[in-house]
Amino acid sequence: MGNKTQGIVLQSLRYGDSSLIVKVFTRDFGLRSYMVKGAFNHNAKNKVALFQNLNIISYVESDKPIVASLGYLKDVQLTCVYRSLPFEMKKSAIVLYTSELLSKTLVGQEQNVPLYDFVVQSLQWLDLVEAHYANFSLFFTLELTRHLGFYPQTNWHSGDCFDMIEGHFVHGYPMHPYYLGSETAALFGSLLGRSIDEVCAISLSLPQRRELLDGLIIFMRLHAPVMKDFHSHEVLKTVMQ
């Protein structure tokens, strides 16, 4: 029989001549890894196109894993067919960033339905919106810290800096280099506690947006050490406008 579930493809790696190893964040079981045999074959039932980054899929999980750490899936279908994410350069860069961010931070993640639903709803919002989404990655990264348990405290006051190690605003400079200065901290504070529409409506210059993203990546690295080899934000910064 097997378990029928749905999940978000975080990463797929070619294995051998025709197979894939796929990492999926599932709604029911948390993070899972699967072997997809023959995905590159012409007559494959589970074609490689189904396993593009951040595709939302439904499938049946086999009761018998191929090896101890890899499962097997079948009857794979797209739950959501994106209309713009794979085809627009800026959105594709956001997809690259988001998939790597999730792959790095959800290592060992167990079932977390609120987190799963947040990711799906955010992706669907991004797919449908036609403009004013340049701040999406700032919003998504911040909200991810909430689900991972280290969302910044919303205690900003005029002139404060943001202490990245402690995760809150402070008056005066910390005794370490991991902080946002008062101007950037003020912008950072304006993002906190807001909805995706509110964050994406905030007017930021390109340098401001890039500085905030750099700060968020440092913040994530401090609190999620698996982020140390994170690179896709550099690609994203080249298309952020």
Domain closes at, from 80, 103, 130? 80
Domain closes at, from 45, 61, 80? 80
Helix (H, G, I), strand (E, B) or coil at 140: helix
Determine the structural domain holding residue 220 and report its residue range. Answer: 89-239
Q: Is 40 a residue whose pLDDT tops 90?
A: no
Residue 70's CATH number: 2.40.50.140
Average pLDDT (58-80) is: 79
Which one, of 120, 189, 107, lies nearest residue 156 by Cα? 189
94 & 64 share domain: no
What is the helix (H) or strand (E) element at residue 11, kind and residue range?
Answer: strand 3-15
98 & 177 share domain: yes
107-148 per-position pLDDT tens digit: 877 899 999 999 999 999 999 999 999 999 999 999 999 999
Task: List all residues 6 or more positions away from 87 whose beta carbon is below 8 Å from its beta carbon.
Answer: none
Banded pLDDT at 66 (limits 50, 70, 90):
low
Cα 96 to Cα 9: distance, rounded to the nearest angstrom: 12
130 & 167 share domain: yes
Share the mean pLDDT of the chain.
89
Total domains in the chain come to: 2
pLDDT recorded at residue 42: 73
Domain closes at, from 80, 111, 146? 80
Of the listed ranges 50-54, 71-75, 87-91, 117-121, the one predicted with least confidence = 71-75
55 & 113 share domain: no
pLDDT recorded at residue 236: 78
Q: Is 83 a residue whose pLDDT tops 80?
A: yes
Contact 160, 170 (CB under 8 A): yes
54 & 33 share domain: yes
Banded pLDDT at 65 (limits 50, 70, 90):
low
Residue 183's CATH number: 1.20.1440.120
Of the listed ranges 56-70, 104-118, 126-140, 150-164, the one predicted with least confidence = 56-70
68 & 118 share domain: no
129 & 193 share domain: yes
Q: Is 226 a residue whose pLDDT tops 70?
A: no
pTM attached to this predicted model: 0.92
